[in-house]
Amino acid sequence: MDKLSHYDDAGRAAMVDVSEKATTKRTAVAHAFVKIAHHVLRALPDNPKGNPLEVARIAGILAAKKTAELIPMCHPLPISHADIETHLETEGIRLVATVTTTAQTGVEMEAMTAVSVAALTVYDMTKGLDKAIEIQDVYLVSKTGGKSGDYFRHSGAHKK
């Protein structure tokens, strides 16, 4: 690739024209970790705002569906599935977003947006107990479908 796809020949930001691309099933998985103090983790079941993990899951799903409204050059996509897995660990909460569509472009940004908003929601729901909460390690885990092929972060592999 000689240039970034979101710029035209004059160097202006541009939405990629996907009208000639094939409609295929595409899935993306993204990850985030929210580092939280032990006393905050212990207090999660008693949160007066509700279950932070369930609220974060719902916020992430809604965010995936609104990605094109937040990221200027993203295409509005028909999301066929979106979910956030939450895993309570000793140092915090691991979040994994999975988003699927059948469309002409991928859902990497939708998965990244979903996991980021889910992490921000965990922060919002627990910040009253500790302002030092950290959102860490936001990244794409994998993507499947489309012309550029599949990508799997942990193996470093990119398959066409």
* Cα(20)–Cα(2) distance, integer angstroms: 20
Does residue 118 sit in helix, strand or coil?
A: helix
**pLDDT-based confidence at 159, cuts 50/70/90?**
low
> In this predicted structure, what is the pLDDT of residue 45?
86
Would 113 be classed as within a structural domain? yes
**pLDDT for res 130:** 94
Asked, for residue 34, whether it belongs to a domain, the answer is yes
In a domain, 17, yes or no: no
pLDDT at 20: 83
In angstroms, how far apart are the furthest CA atoms of the chain?
55
Structural domain count of the chain: 1
Q: Write out the H or E segment, with its range, that includes residue 56.
A: helix 52-65
Question: Is residue 31 assigned to a domain?
Answer: yes
Question: Is there a domain that residue 18 lies in?
Answer: no
> Does residue 1 have a pLDDT over 60?
no
DSSP, res 13 = B
Q: What is the pLDDT of residues 72-119, one digit of tens each?
A: 989 999 999 999 999 999 999 999 999 999 999 999 999 999 999 999
- In the beta sheet, which residues pair with residue 82? 99
pLDDT for res 108: 96
Check pLDDT > 80 for residue 34: yes
Buried b (16+ CB within 10 A) or exposed e, 20-30: eeeeeebbbbb
In the predicted structure, residue 146 carries a pLDDT above the cut 90 = no
Residue 13 lies in a domain: no
Whether residue 117 is contained in a domain is answered as yes
pLDDT at 17: 78
Residue 1 lies in a domain: no
Residue 130 among the catalytic residues: no
What's the domain range around 92?
Answer: 24-159
For the segment 6-33, the average pLDDT, to the nearest whole number, is 84
Please tell me which residue in 2, 9, 17, 124 is annotated as part of the active site: 124
The CATH code of the domain that includes 69 is 3.30.70.640
